[in-house]
Structure 1
């Protein structure tokens, strides 16, 4: 069972099957779970047909009453934070965390798998101001990398392409070879040495599709074997610099603060 290894004082609210969480969200007008929560594999029709469960409306007042507050907070969330970490080891399930803040409420949902291989989600209540801390402390960071700057060679992980060396004109207008990124201190890392890749985005409005939003800012990092964590520079710069938990927390909290500022300006809300 995944847990939030964090100082943010998480309180387990409840655990629910992904298919039940889907039904609860549909009842509240959401046709999909918030990214990155979702089915890792197809759910068998026989299993669904033979489940002895009642209508979702009744269950939210019964065995699933524990998650009602999360669903109601989701549909009125001021800001959501979406974190996903993928691992090179195919036997290790990717980490999927979804945080939300709605007024004075804060939640983090962590997806896992139960002993019968059913996709489940553990929902934790956290102080709304500790959302970034809860996400970062659970992301599996190991510490700052040892090199000043790296670029990952290879395309298996869908990472930004390494920067290309550019030719610059000399004083007479003739092109002269620019020092390559590698000569400028960027260390090349083979993609086989990347043991994990992570992404974080935040949003203040419901998503139009499930997945990473190409139109929104993104934090992207890599974890290098026997080295440490590196955060990619914004945009398509193609290189990453050493990152620790405090740096990632600051970036996430900055995203949250920017989204809350937009919410305040659009609604006149005066909360902090």
Structure 2
């Protein structure tokens, strides 16, 4: 995951079960039997990467992430000689030798122009290699549309200081064009010479507690916005955003709140 002012593994993993399910459904479509080299790009805290090491016990598995905070958490899952974690920027990563399985789960939506990376990664697959990506596709959902409207208003746009890293520009992350639809990823993978499968799933997460949707986005899309504000402005924007989220996602009679969450999946296979 790309750094946005310092990732907080505790905040991100507050909904660990919900966030782990798409990774399991993505990797279930990978047909590799005995890969030698497996790479997880944007590995986060390493818990999902560890499932790849357990699935393929004879593979050398490497998790790559740009966040020092996430990598410190990932170190708990490392296995000497079998499962390692290294710091790296997804934009710069290029395989130094053919990869048998390459996975990127819930990371590429932070990288504008990421389709060109997928094409480059596809070129680095070994014969019979697999490439699997999952990208949240919620730019049209209230969580993103309300935040985009808020930060685009004259009052807040004037207060949001420019960032040093264009990848983490909130406007770029919230842009509806930031993520392709399933057909777009299908065409991308087939254009790279892979046999491809692409689909989308909208999960209905049933959340509980006060402002649960705000707590969900606080670990993800809200982070690069707050990173550009001082504490006072951050608190003010968060309160305004929370009120809008409560209106868009009302509490049900049983006290829970439903959060629809769309994710786009694509798996490509380089036939031997």
Q: Same fold (TM over 0.5)?
A: no
The structure with the largest strand share of the pair is 1
**What TM-score bracket applies, with the shorter chain setting the length?**
under 0.3
What's the TM-score once normalised by structure 1's chain length? 0.26
Give the structure with higher Rg (CA).
1
The structure with the largest helix share of the pair is 2
What's the TM-score once normalised by structure 2's chain length? 0.26
